[in-house]
Structure 1
Amino acid sequence: MNALTRNESRAVARAVLQIDVANHPGVMSHVVGLFSRRAYNVEGILCLPVGDGRQSRIWLLVNEDQRLPQMIRQLEKLEDVASVRRHHAEHAVFAELEEFFRP
């Protein structure tokens, strides 16, 4: 977790990005590198292969701010990215995990 305390982080608006990508070595590095180069914090990452394994789905839990629409446009430009969908922070993929890790 970043420098925010757990209570402060709950006050920050969040979003879940669902990213469908080609499944091969280096794709995750390209995706998270895009965020890293722009000093955009990623709060959570989940990645699993889908279908026959040629594609993977990456879910990123990120803080919402004015840069997020631009980050999504940049993601869509990456060669290995097939699609990007934005969900509310309550999306089931992270909601259930947060329940599991809550003290």
Structure 2
Amino acid sequence: MITENYVIKLIVNNHPGVMSHIVGLFSRRAFNLEGIICSEIGDSNTSQMYLLIKNDERTEQIIKQLEKLYDVLDVSLHAEDQYPIFNKLDNELGKL
């Protein structure tokens, strides 16, 4: 079964500019982000980011590029159904 969407989970250093670097990477490669969720973890020196992307032939290359960014500490790719956080958010927003 081919997944239409993936969730990229990142652990990143938490300081100004990190989100800009990550979003800039996607922008420079004309790769659309369908959704972004970010929150501090632990002692607030790090954050976790969830990026919702469409399944694309460039997904593997994007992962490799994310792993090269200095402030990215961990990268993992998941099928959307493994991290339904965006679906839950969509359902909650639909109730408003």
TM-score > 0.5, shorter chain as reference: yes
Shift of 1:35: 0.3
- Unaligned runs of 5+ residues in structure 2 are none
Tell me whether 1:38 sits opposite 2:29 in the alignment: yes
| Greater Cα shift, 84-93 or 38-47 | 84-93
Q: Give the aligned length.
A: 92
- Unaligned runs of 5+ residues in structure 1 are 1-11
For residues 48-103 of structure 1, the C-alpha deviation after alignment (integer angstroms, 9 at most, x for no partner) is 00000000011000001110000000000000000001111121321211222348
| Greater Cα shift, 82-91 or 67-76 | 82-91
**AA partner of residue 13 (structure 1):** E
Partner of 1:98: 90
Partner of 2:43: 52
**AA partner of residue 73 (structure 2):** A
Partner of 1:18: 9
Runs of 4+ in 1 over 3 A off after TM superposition: none
1:69 to 60, 77, 85: 60
Normalised TM-score (structure 1)? 0.84
2:76 to 82, 85, 94: 85
Normalised TM-score (structure 2)? 0.90
Report % sequence identity. Answer: 47
**AA partner of residue 93 (structure 2):** F
